[in-house]
Amino acid sequence: MSTALPSIFVSHGSPMIALEPGEAGAFMQRLGPAIDAAFGRPKAIVSVSAHTAARTPVVLAAPRHSAVYDFGGFDPKLYTLRYDAPGDPALAARVLGLLQAKGIAARSVPEGGLDHGAWTALRYVYPAADIPIVPLAFVPGDSPARQFALGEALAPLADEGVLVLGSGSITHNLRRVFSGGSLHPDKTQPEIPESAAFRRWIAERAAARDWDALFAYRSQAPHAVDMHPTDEHLLPWYVAAGAGGRSAAPIRVHDSATMGSLGMDAYAFGARATALAGALR
């Protein structure tokens, strides 16, 4: 067993995953035990979620975090769910130092909170909420290449037993998902060809380590703008990828879609990604 960890990206889809786990939620329930079995329990988690963004990278250094209900119009039961987890101010300072050492103009604030992209995933991966978490806000206007560089700065954390966990969605056009006007679209409807083609392209380019194509996904991937009208839900993929580095090919460790066009894939990155994929089999 090695304490060195892969970095990971999971798709949280919509807030309703907290009540309706589906295939992706079931995968995330297996993910925490697989990480623990292969590498030992993480000492802490650096969380990069599509819903925590800022004008410059910001490290949230609060000693405690709780769930933020940053959504509206969904099932009221969502507001009864909690995820109260410890923070780690010392790790927050370490993260800030790593970013600044690479010339990234990051800052730290003493505030806390876990947006729904973070806590809906974490409540499946580590439901006891007993692992310290440091949320990191990214800059949604920065390019995929710059997100990758942000992740590269975090790479030393893998050898320190810290898990870098990105959360977003591999496809995310909610106008398509909720086009019928219901917040509960049919989860059994077949995946549309556009979503399948985009997910396949990401998987193939990742397996080939074609970073240039991946960085230019909006112009090169099929149906990219349709699947990501705005790309904040894919950008945490690049942060997690950067933390894993260029040398090892990203590995898709979960492959599913729901509601016709919402891709729920998960990826592992870095030299330890293969070990995680094996533990998940």
| Position 166 in a domain | yes
The arithmetic mean of pLDDT across residues 95-113, rounded, is: 98
Residue 182 has pLDDT above 70, yes or no: no
Q: Is residue 216 part of a domain?
A: no
Give how many domains the chain has, as a whole number.
1
Region 84-104 average pLDDT:
98
For residue 223, tell me if it sits in a domain.
no
Question: Is residue 198 a part of any domain in this protein?
Answer: no
- Whether 212 is in a domain gets the answer no
**Is the pLDDT at 269 greater than 90, yes or no?**
yes
Q: Taking a C-beta distance cutoff of 8 angstroms, is the pair 124, 29 a contact?
A: yes
* Residue 237 CB-density burial (10 A; 0-12 exposed, 13-18 middle, 19+ buried): buried
CATH number of the structural domain spanning residue 121: 3.40.830.10
Which residues partner with 46 through β-bridges?
134, 164
pLDDT tens figures, 132-158: 999 999 999 999 999 999 999 999 999
Residue 176: pLDDT band with limits 50, 70, 90? confident
Measure the CA–CA gap between 181 and 145, rounded to whole angstroms. 36
Check whether 191 has a pLDDT greater than 80.
yes
Average pLDDT over the chain reads: 95
Of 83, 79, 86, the C-alpha closest to 15 is 79
- How would you class 143 by CB atoms within 10 Å of its CB: exposed for 0-12, middle for 13-18, buried for 19 or more? middle
Sign of the torsion angle spanned by Cα atoms 232, 236, 238, 239: positive
Contact 50, 239 (CB under 8 A): no
pLDDT grade for 2, boundaries at 50, 70 and 90 = low
Query: Model-level pTM?
Result: 0.96
In a domain, 202, yes or no: no
- Residue 179, in any domain of the structure: yes
The parent domain of residue 66 ranges over 7-191+229-280
Per-residue model confidence as pLDDT tens digits over 201-223? 999 999 999 999 999 999 999 99
- At 179 the pLDDT is 67
Helical packing angle, 273-280 and 22-39, nearest 10°? 120
Contact in structure between 165 and 121 (CB atoms under 8 Å) = yes
| HEC string for the chain | CCCCCCEEEEECCCHHHHCCCHHHHHHHHHHHHHHHHHHCCCCEEEEEECCCECCCCEEECCCEECECCCCCCCCHHHHHCCCCEECCHHHHHHHHHHHHHCCCCCEEECCCCECHHHHHHHHHHCCCCCCCEEEEEECCCCCHHHHHHHHHHCHHHHHHCEEEEEEECCCCCHHHHCCCCCCCCCCCCCCCHHHHHHHHHHHHHHHCCCHHHHHCHHHHCCCHHHHCCCCCCCHHHHHHHHHHCCCCCCEEEECCEECCCEECCEEEECCCHHHHHHHHC
Residue 71 lies in a domain: yes
